[in-house]
Structure 1
Amino acid sequence: MSNDAPVRYKVAEAARLAGVSPSTLRLWESQGLVVPGRSDTGHRQYSADDVARLQRISWYRVERGLNPAAIREALESEDPTDSPEGSAVSDIGRRLRSLRHAAGKTLDQVAGDMHITSSTLSTLERTSQGVSFKTLHDLAEYYGTTVSRLSGEERDDVSAVVRAGEWRTWPETTPGVTVQLLAEGRIMMDCHRFVLAPGAASEGAYRHDGEEFMHILSGRLELVLDSDQFFDLGPGDSLYFESRRYHSWRNRHDGETILIWINTPPTF
């Protein structure tokens, strides 16, 4: 019987194939040059693509004498996306990378401005994953855009009717936060269905222009406005507030919390 599961290499195996020591791989990971997957038990696992990337990193370091920042830029130039062309998963990361290049910024510069690590930003640009909801919002604001635009909501080829269960979904940039689109196109409202896993949170407060409305369908959500107003919202509850107020949120339910969330104008 054939086995089509992708090959995964442990640290020692990947290091041997790349011609470096295991400690060097850990150093490159801390520098944001490569981000391996993890097993269920938390151990690093390198794919065949990761090993090929490690070999390129080693070549740039030894043959070209590049520092980590220059190696990252060189890898991006030769490999602009790690996902298939047109993949929805890579769209947000690809757009963020294009915006950074247009601004003439390096990974280290933007990461420093955002107070996040270069490895976190590199992972986001390559996979559209790995940051908090607040960080994603702050990055969009930094580049003068919105999360909704980064997610490709302003398309022209959309239907006025969205059937139940046929919602298009944002890439899951934040673990446990699923955002489904209830309306798309060049419209005056962001209309979303949020599905929050237990414990999912914004991981910080953010604000933007506009007004917001939310209606809880199931579960329980804690929303905090201006750091001192706490709202415990359950099924059937609604809340309306000005988006310029700092707001943060967390699923306080031991199961999923599902809510309808609308922003107007579309400034998130």
Structure 2
Amino acid sequence: MSNEAPVRYKVAEAARLAGVSASTLRLWESQGLVVPGRSETGHRQFSVEDVARLKRISWYRVERGLNPAAIREALEGEEPPDNSEVTAISDIGRRLRSLRHAASRTLDQVAGDMGITASTLSTLERTSQGVSFKTLHDLAEYYGTTVSRLSGEVSDGVPAIVRSGEWRTWPETTPGVTVQLLAEGRTMMDCHRFVLAAGATSEGAYRHEGEEFMHVLSGRLELVLDSDQFFDLGPGDSLYFESRRYHSWRNRHDGETILIWINTPPTF
């Protein structure tokens, strides 16, 4: 049995993970939509389950346009949580830890190879939180796998149709970056819906085999290829490029940027 304490987030951390502002989170608390725990000193503490609830509240508010009373009613009418999101968060950490153990590597050794601190890697293995998108990609490459597989995306017996708003979401390893699955199963394409909070970035360039296509639905994205080709993409813009080219990106919009992002073959 693990003696590790449950993960708890402060207001700013929970807001960032949920893709909303701290003031919005406090407003929702005042409206009774979420009730965080308290530390011994009285400070708010949000659990992983609270963050999952915040994401549902945001979806009802943005996608359905519901008011607080309607959101509260919708949340109460949902099936009791089965902790699937909590399981997903712990699963990706366990996968990374299992891969490290299989490679007979210590935290210090892998962290040194990745250019990160051992404490950062330890936190990632426990909570799936706290690293850049580039670091997550580099770790997957280091272990000879892909980010999609680490996130539990590849599975059998999944439906061919994914309904609007019912997208399964990757564990949110990088603050402000939400990746939702538009197609599941053992496909020849990774089909994702990216939701980038203001200021979200890959925090560095990465590359892999294959080709990729992106189409911006809203907001504004800056994509940089090979460190010297800059593309400013707005709503309705698309871009196709070879994945072996180094690419980095950031949300240039003062709000969310949402885009469709497809990789083939599924090497990301």
> Aligned in 2, Cα 1:118/1:261: closer, same or farther, shift over 3 Å?
same
The change in CA–CA distance for 1:94 and 1:247 in structure 2 (over 3 A counts) is same
Distance 1:35 1:229, change over 3 A: farther
Counterparts of 1:143 and 1:191, CA distance in 2 = 23
Please, which runs of 5 or more residues in structure 1 have no aligned partner?
1-32, 47-82
Indicate the residue corresponding to 2:174 in structure 1.
Answer: 174
* Matched position secondary structure for 1:87: helix
Gaps of 5+ in 2: 14-38, 41-82
Q: Where do residues 1-268 of structure 1 align in structure 2 (5 Å cutoff)?
A: 37=8, 39-40=10-11, 87-268=87-268
**Distance in 2 between residues matched to 1:103 and 1:84, nearest whole Å:** 28
Distance 2:249 2:84 in 1: 34
Q: The residue matched to 1:169 in structure 2 has which SS? A: coil
TM-score, normalised via structure 2 length = 0.70
Aligned Cα RMSD in Å?
2.4
Deviation at 1:35, TM superposition (A): 11
* Rounded Cα–Cα distance in structure 1 between residues aligned with 2:182 and 2:204: 25
Contact 1:35–1:123 under 8 Å retained in 2: no
Q: In the aligned structure 2, how far is the partner of 1:177 from the partner of 1:220?
A: 14
- Once superposed, which parts of structure 1, at least 4 consecutive aligned residues long, lie more than 2 Å away? 33-42, 83-86
1:125 and 1:41 mapped to 2: Cα distance?
22
1:163 is paired with a residue whose SS is coil
* 2: CA distance, partners of 1:247 / 1:140: 16
Note the alpha carbon deviations across 1:183-222, whole angstroms, 9 max, x for none: 0111100000000000000000000000000000000000
Report which of the two structures shows the higher radius of gyration computed on alpha carbons.
1
The 2-side partners of 1:40 and 1:86 are apart by 19
Contact 2:154 2:184 in 1 (8 A): yes
Given the two structures, how large is their TM-score scaled by the length of structure 1? 0.70
State the 1:237 CA deviation: 0.1
1:168 shift after superposition? 0.1
The 3-state SS of whatever aligns with 2:259 is strand
Distance 1:215 1:116, change over 3 A: same
